């Protein structure tokens, strides 16, 4: 079967899609389907004009209370699909009420109730950054502002003015799904999203003027500062892309999946389930923030090199903002635990998850990512602090008794970690759920998918090169 380039679309979490993208509809935002993106933008937001030659390089968007619906990103291409299980944060938590307000900027209760009462699956039922309000300078309630920046000059200004002094920032990327590594920054790092509790910045690198330096010095400074924690799902994959294409060596990366697993399973005493498997952003949002996230593919696989449409703005902004709210909420739940485990290490350090100040949890990513979800027969129960201490002590003793038998291995190549996450996502979406059907099928193994992804995304590697990356000890080619 052959398809034209316009309809043959490769995506890290889905493989190749042979269906052309359906025509866009604006009705979910409350606009007529006949309205153009430009007309929609005029109705939806007010725009500031920057000093860059009078061009609209950075816009501050003030969402309306009447439009709580929004798309959300799934941590860029694969992160939202890369997990293989979805634990419940607290089996006894009432998700019919707004989440605990861990930040000054919290969800508007009327908008939250409206979303809860909306028909499931309709636009108004989904979580969005547009539902949040916080204190303004004059004491009035203000919405979250979105800065849409289309030049390096405005990106630098927004970074320095609004994000340089933040301690925790939501972070995400968007890129053209079918882009190869040789097609340059504009297609491989099309959009960079940062978020604080009160603001979201969309740095549209793909639309920076010709001749502009595509790497913002202030953004680079923020990303390379280990004292500023950047939070997200599958955040190491995004950081690898920044390093590869923009020479930005990100530090201070917090993988939300690790914190989510630590809090979730510590509450129930299920310490053996605390691992480094990725948990979809949408799952975390629904469990922690009590509303579902939109997971449509039309926006995710759209062209991110052109000026953003309204749905692309809301889609990408919601994803970055979710990270900030999730981190604050998860940290609140972690601090309530007794005994209280430390916050996980920054992801770039490749250190184990800590159960207590003196106990590290070793994980085995290869085996974990190859596993299939296990059915949960009974709902987990939140344990008392005494019961948690008893189970934790027994589990740590068990881990320590077998740790001496574990072999030391070389540090895992970042390309292997990226490929493992993609393979898990691809298998989850495409593998038959019926074990009998799966046994009859010709599904590729996780190791075959992993090798394919490394070869596909790193053009120029030979089979021997790929095998050398994957094997420990390295594979030796026979003469």
pLDDT by position in tens, the chain (length 479)? 433 333 344 444 434 444 434 434 434 433 333 333 333 333 333 333 333 333 344 444 443 333 333 333 333 333 333 444 444 456 557 789 999 999 999 999 999 999 999 999 888 999 999 999 999 888 899 999 999 999 999 999 999 999 999 999 999 999 998 888 889 999 999 999 999 999 999 999 999 999 889 999 999 999 999 999 999 999 999 999 999 999 999 999 999 999 999 999 998 888 888 999 999 999 999 999 999 998 767 888 889 999 999 989 999 999 999 999 999 999 999 999 988 999 999 999 999 998 875 566 555 443 334 333 334 444 566 666 766 666 676 666 666 665 554 445 556 788 888 888 888 888 777 766 555 555 556 677 888 888 888 888 888 888 888 888 887 655 555 44
Residue 415 in domain: no
Q: Which residue, 297, 331, 365, sits at the end of a domain? A: 331
Same domain, residue pair 321 and 462: no
Same domain, residue pair 326 and 436: no
- For the chain, the domain total comes to 2
Residue 17 in domain: no
Residue 99 in domain: yes
pLDDT of residue 64: 38
Same domain, residue pair 314 and 441: no
Same domain, residue pair 87 and 231: yes
Residue 277 in domain: yes
Residue 375 in domain: no
Residue 224 in domain: yes
Same domain, residue pair 436 and 317: no
Look at residues 297, 299, 31, 320 and name the one whose alpha carbon lies nearest to residue 147: 320
Same domain, residue pair 76 and 209: yes
**CATH number, domain with residue 125:** 3.30.420.10
Same domain, residue pair 327 and 436: no
pLDDT of residue 294: 84
Residue 326 in domain: yes
Same domain, residue pair 327 and 443: no
Same domain, residue pair 320 and 453: no
DSSP 306: S
What span, in angstroms and rounded, lies between the C-alpha atoms of 299 and 77? 11
Same domain, residue pair 94 and 207: yes
Residue numbers of the domain that contains 307:
42-331
Q: Which residue, 298, 331, 364, sits at the end of a domain? A: 331
CB-based contacts of 129, cutoff 8 Å, min separation 6: 63, 70, 144, 146, 195, 200, 314, 317, 318, 321, 322
Same domain, residue pair 150 and 267: yes
Q: Which residue, 331, 366, 390, sits at the end of a domain? A: 331
Residue 387 in domain: no
Please, are residues 386 and 299 in contact by the beta-carbon 8 Å criterion?
Answer: no
């Amino acid at each position: 079967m052959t398809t034209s380039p316009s309809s043959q679309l490769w995506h890290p979490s889905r493989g190749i899609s042979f269906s052309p993208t359906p025509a866009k509809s604006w009705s979910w935002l409350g606009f007529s389907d006949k309205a153009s993106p430009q007309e929609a933008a005029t109705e939806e937001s007010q725009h500031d004009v920057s000093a860059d030659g009078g061009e609209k390089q950075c816009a501050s968007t003030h969402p309306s209370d009447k439009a709580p619906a929004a798309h959300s990103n799934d941590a860029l291409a694969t992160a939202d699909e890369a997990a293989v299980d979805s634990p419940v944060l607290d089996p006894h938590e009432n998700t019919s009420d707004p989440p605990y307000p861990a930040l000054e900027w919290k969800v508007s209760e009327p908008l939250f109730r409206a979303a809860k009462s909306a028909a499931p699956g309709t636009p108004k039922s989904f979580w969005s950054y547009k539902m949040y309000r916080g204190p303004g300078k004059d004491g009035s309630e203000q919405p979250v502002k979105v800065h849409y920046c289309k030049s390096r000059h405005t990106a630098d200004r927004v970074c320095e003015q609004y994000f340089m002094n933040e301690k925790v920032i939501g972070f995400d990327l968007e890129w053209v799904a079918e882009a190869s590594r040789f097609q340059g920054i504009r297609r491989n790092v099309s959009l960079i999203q940062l978020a604080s509790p009160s603001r979201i910045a969309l740095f549209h690198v793909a639309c920076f003027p010709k001749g502009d330096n595509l790497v913002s010095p202030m953004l680079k400074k923020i990303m390379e500062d280990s004292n500023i924690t950047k939070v997200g799902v599958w955040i190491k994959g995004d950081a690898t892309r920044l390093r590869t294409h923009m020479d930005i060596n990100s530090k201070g990366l917090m993988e939300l999946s690790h914190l989510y697993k630590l809090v979730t399973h510590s509450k129930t005493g299920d310490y053996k389930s605390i691992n480094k498997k990725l948990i979809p952003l949408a799952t975390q949002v629904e469990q922690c923030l009590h509303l579902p996230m939109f997971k449509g593919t039309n926006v995710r696989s759209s062209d991110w090199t052109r000026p953003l449409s309204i749905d692309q703005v809301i889609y990408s902004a919601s994803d970055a903002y979710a990270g900030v709210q999730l981190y604050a909420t998860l940290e609140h739940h972690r601090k309530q635990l007794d005994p209280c485990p430390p916050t996980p290490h920054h992801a770039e350090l490749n250190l184990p998850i800590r159960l207590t100040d003196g106990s590290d949890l070793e994980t085995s990513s290869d085996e974990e990512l190859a596993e299939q979800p296990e059915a949960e027969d009974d709902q987990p129960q939140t344990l008392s602090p005494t019961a948690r201490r008893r189970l934790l002590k027994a589990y740590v003793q068990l881990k320590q008794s077998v740790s001496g038998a574990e072999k030391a291995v070389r540090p895992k190549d970042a390309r292997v970690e990226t490929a493992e996450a993609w393979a898990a996502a691809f298998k989850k979406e495409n593998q038959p759920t019926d074990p009998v059907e799966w046994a009859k099928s010709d599904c590729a193994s996780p190791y075959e998918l992993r090798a394919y992804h490394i070869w596909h995304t790193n053009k120029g590697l030979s089979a021997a090169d790929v095998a050398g990356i994957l094997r420990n000890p390295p594979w030796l080619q026979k003469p």
